[in-house]
């Protein structure tokens, strides 16, 4: 499963009403570390298909969502389960650490 582009229009359905945990990546096109972690998130999206989802939120396009979650630095990775934040980290992390976030 490919990553999902999350916008204010699909946020409620894709994130708040998701049956699976969803890993949100707050990112921007100009962010070098965001580009570094993107291939890892694509791998996780494929490997976790059916068990978890990966959503990407471009903070330049979706500033309302970035403000709602008080994103101050990117990349910010956040796991939302049952409509609540279950885990959150800022910065590039190894794949094993990101996978561990999804073990909730």
Q: Locate 41 and state its tokens.
A: 């998130």
Q: How many helices and strands (H and E) does the chain possess?
A: 4, 5
Active site residue 47: no
Catalytic residue among 6, 15, 23, 31: 31
Active site residue 30: no
Rounded Cα distance between 39 and 25, Å, is 12
Catalytic residue among 4, 34, 41, 57: 34
Selection from 85, 67, 83 nearest residue 15 by Cα:
83
HSE, CB side, 13 Å, CA atoms: give it for residue 14: 16
Enzyme catalytic residues: 31, 34
């Amino acid at each position: 499963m490919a990553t999902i582009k999350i916008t204010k229009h699909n946020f409620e359905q894709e994130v708040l009403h998701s049956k699976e945990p969803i890993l949100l990546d707050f990112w921007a096109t100009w962010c070098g570390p965001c580009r570094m972690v993107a291939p890892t998130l694509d791998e996780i999206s494929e490997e976790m298909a059916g068990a978890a989802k990966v959503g990407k939120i471009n903070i330049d396009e979706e500033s309302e969502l970035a403000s709602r979650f008080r994103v101050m630095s990117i990349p910010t990775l956040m796991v939302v389960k049952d409509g609540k934040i279950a885990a959150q980290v800022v910065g590039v992390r190894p794949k094993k650490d990101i996978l561990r976030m999804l073990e909730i």
